[in-house]
Amino acid sequence: MAIADLPHAELVEISVNEIGLIQKQSETEPGQPSHDDPVALGFGAWARPLQRLKYYIGKIRIDALRWKDGRRHHTEVGFVKLAVDELVDMDGQPVPMVALYLTENDTDSSDQAQQPVAIFTRRGIRFLAPVSIEAGINAPVPSRVSRFYSDDGRFCFNVQGPTSGQPTGAIIQYDTHDSPDESTWTAVGKVPIEPL
């Protein structure tokens, strides 16, 4: 039974504690959607309210629940911010963004306690907490980063280890020609790593 019924989608219970927005099935073609368009959960807000350039569009809360003073108490320990803001480069030109805010514990949900951890925009991604990268599913293996790119993405700097006859490695600069195809890249510089 649907919790909510749309022309081509339904909000339904999909597990004990889970709901889902799913496509309706075509009445004439079983196993096919009645309308071939993705289902979506949307948030909307009027642009530039009260002439403000920075504004929220929506928010998804993460709450820790407790029984307090004879009633259920919500402690907001984090949220996903959907907004127009400038938290990546602070250049005074707000852009559409998604940010993850978290607290340091599960008891304080004040504005001061809720700080951004990661911010995503088309202008860049900003992490405000340590980042650890691991590879592997069953036995995580620390990932190694040996490539760095210039701000505009045009040049790749590759850190290479020792080769035969060299006690140390080198940093090679490649011109990517703005192409992801590494076979088209050209080596344009080399800096040997001198032993200490």
Give me the domain span that covers residue 13: 1-41
169 lies in a domain? yes
- DSSP structural state of residue 69: T
**Higher local confidence (pLDDT), 65 or 124:** 65
Q: In total, how many domains does the chain have?
A: 3
Query: Which tokens is 18 given?
Result: 């889970």
Note the pLDDT of residue 135.
Answer: 61
160 lies in a domain? yes
Cβ-contact 79, 59 below 8 angstroms:
yes
Query: Of 127, 158, 177, which residue constitutes the final position of a domain?
Result: 127
Q: Alpha-carbon dihedral of residues 18, 23, 27, 29, nearest 10 degrees?
A: -110
Per residue in 152-163, pLDDT (tens digit) is 888 989 888 887
Residues 93 and 152 in one domain: no
Residue 99 has pLDDT above 70, yes or no: yes
Residues 123 and 147 in one domain: no
pTM assigned to the model: 0.68
Cβ-contact 124, 88 below 8 angstroms:
yes
Per residue in 52-98, pLDDT (tens digit) is 999 999 999 999 999 999 999 999 999 999 999 998 888 889 999 99
Residues 1 and 21 in one domain: yes
149 lies in a domain? yes
Q: How many CB atoms lie within 10 A of CB 3?
A: 11
Cβ-contact 127, 102 below 8 angstroms:
no
